[in-house]
Structure 1
């Protein structure tokens, strides 16, 4: 749909300007509402138990986090386009507001998106120091480095960082409880050895749980259902959330590629993913023909938004299964496919 719209209007209107304006408007609405609720003490909490974080007046923290993550590099692009001296540093304000919202959300996705966006921008700007446009990017480079330093310095007190250690404590407490429930076969074990066992690191299964937040358990269940399903259902899908009974209510994995594969089956998933492959391969071929795109702020920020969307879809979900999030991914992908390279050729 986005490709059709952009293709239809690209010859009559400035699609890039209008798209940028609307993306900026969306980011400002989200960040102003979010920070406003924080200041007034009316923000809803992202988590019900143990972990900390806020989601403003928005309903779903995961979907909000994915939306903000995609918008972050696109909002940062405004500063890269507009700031040519420190007198115009105020163009960084929309990104800073959105970054604060992203970090206070309390998810790993939010903090990671801020860091990745700033790192990509800093690398591009640093590379441009060796071009003939270095005088135009010095202000942006200094600001991006300062923001990276501030983000790094405040990470240890951020909700996402604290939530990570809360999750680790929960996993360790669960392991200790499991160990206590086991029959004591080695009562005469040496104290030194017991101490060493207590200080042992989390195993691979615990690390997986820390990263995926128990999604791996739902994935294992769906894999088991899929293995038992007849060949017809393997080909055309298991339906929403797979097979379930009254005793087992429907539960999605919340990892979009897996959810779509099990729901749509082999045939449905291939049909669904085909447009993404066409767009992705086309953009990669154009990049191969014109590697200078790697120093183009617009290309890199839109690409960063797409990479974030794909990464979040694979690990945390709520991108391709949530229209409120997918629309931003679709806009970014369609822009690179239809507008960006055509503008450069023009």
Structure 2
């Protein structure tokens, strides 16, 4: 039975699973929007694949670091288990299903990171595995973009915003998650296009980049809009510099085609942009930003809007009865947290008052709620308060290790560091982590974190392979 975990086969399973992601998201949207179900086929398939992946990690490979990786997983699962049991026994209110669901979502990111990492074994050609993963993302993003266009044309697209601003999320349920996916994956699609460009006929490989860039404009969020601009512009600059430094060899000839296609993409997007939701939303924001800055500088932040939710009222009463943390008086902190400050302050106070066991192993999902759970909606804080010092460090360990590898490469292999592939992967990761910090639902959103994990693994192997050449 374990023969299905042959390394060459598992990377194919993983490739097809990545391609399946937008389809699972569409099925999730249909289940929630039309069938009003909380357990969807998308969740079911992702959980099943998580189990399949764990079998592969434990029994289906011979990676040189397998012992260390399995030790990490056992320690991670043990700490999360201690956190769960601790909060099951001590929390004033404990919603079993919500707590379990959150744990599964939090574990998804490190497990997928490990599975992707272990696909690169010594007897596998790194470029071959990388190409499979890049092509999987390009295909998935093409499916996502085409579904977006069809949903808008048929009038079945969900709106990104309820009022004032415009934009579409198509057949996808959450605008923040969709924006994060587009922001993380657009640099990957651009890498794939450049990697495959050998002649003029290879223009077909640029289709995913073009379609996803247009999708970024249709969503209407600042995240997708500025992520698209940053990716295309920085990509163009690095392509130009690469061409200039290789004008006398074959690489220079290739980059003439790449540079031309990159300029064409930017030109098309520039023509389309003024007629899109993203442009109208950003123009509206620019018109009010100076007034907002003046208001923040001169006045106290506005109170959080009154809401009828019972848990919100309880939280507001708890926060009002206590002094808020001193750093909450800093203007910039209030601007960053916005309405999330209410939930941050509540959980922060609970954490400060908690015993040493809860400080080490966390308060569980959304802290000590009294009616129903309320997340802060900022991934790093949500994970820290939920799993504590030990648990959050273990979850963040892959990110910390990648940061170390990339920084080490910057100082020990400076020229290699500034190659196009590395720069675009840094953009992909930066967007993913930035959204995770500010808007949440990245690190424990299975639909999003798989792409972030992929970018992190790719940059590890890029910076670990000293023989990398310009793509």
TM-score range (shorter-chain normalised) is: 0.7 to 0.9
For the residue of structure 2 that corresponds to 1:301, the secondary structure is helix
Verify the 8 A CA contact 2:406 2:463 in the aligned structure 1: no
Does residue 177 of structure 2 align to residue 59 of structure 1? no
Verify the 8 A CA contact 1:6 1:339 in the aligned structure 2: no
Give the Cα–Cα distance (whole angstroms) in 2 for the partners of residues 146 and 203 of structure 1.
Answer: 41
Matches within 5 A, 1:221-260: 221-246=346-371, 249-260=372-383
**Counterpart position of 1:331:** 454
**Counterpart position of 1:141:** 259
2:295 to 192, 202, 210: 202
TM-score, normalised via structure 2 length? 0.60
Verify the 8 A CA contact 2:379 2:442 in the aligned structure 1: yes
Aligned-residue offset at 1:59:
1.5
**Counterpart position of 2:38:** none
Verify the 8 A CA contact 1:212 1:316 in the aligned structure 2: no
How many aligned residue pairs are there?
A: 319
Matches within 5 A, 1:280-295: 280-295=403-418
Does residue 427 of structure 2 align to residue 309 of structure 1? no
For the residue of structure 1 that corresponds to 2:241, the secondary structure is helix
**Counterpart position of 2:323:** none
For the residue of structure 1 that corresponds to 2:169, the secondary structure is coil
Give the Cα–Cα distance (whole angstroms) in 1 for the partners of residues 289 and 341 of structure 2.
Answer: 15
Aligned-residue offset at 1:273:
1.6
Aligned-residue offset at 1:160:
3.5
**Counterpart position of 1:178:** none
Query: Which has the higher mean CA deviation after the structures are superposed, 91-100 or 288-297?
Result: 288-297
Verify the 8 A CA contact 1:235 1:265 in the aligned structure 2: yes
Matches within 5 A, 1:77-116: 77-84=191-198, 88-116=202-230
For the residue of structure 1 that corresponds to 2:387, the secondary structure is helix
- Report Cα offsets for 1:250-297 as digits up to 9, x if no partner: 111111111111111112112222232122212321342222224422
Give the Cα–Cα distance (whole angstroms) in 1 for the partners of residues 426 and 293 of structure 2.
Answer: 40
Give the Cα–Cα distance (whole angstroms) in 1 for the partners of residues 272 and 131 of structure 2.
Answer: 34
Verify the 8 A CA contact 1:72 1:114 in the aligned structure 2: yes
Verify the 8 A CA contact 2:409 2:463 in the aligned structure 1: no
- Considering only aligned residues, what root-mean-square deviation do their CA atoms show, in Å? 3.2
Give the Cα–Cα distance (whole angstroms) in 2 for the partners of residues 155 and 94 of structure 1.
Answer: 17
Does residue 117 of structure 2 align to residue 3 of structure 1? yes
Verify the 8 A CA contact 1:31 1:101 in the aligned structure 2: yes
Verify the 8 A CA contact 1:70 1:305 in the aligned structure 2: yes
Gaps of 5+ in 2: 1-113, 303-330
Gaps of 5+ in 1: 173-197
TM-score, normalised via structure 1 length? 0.80
Verify the 8 A CA contact 1:73 1:117 in the aligned structure 2: yes
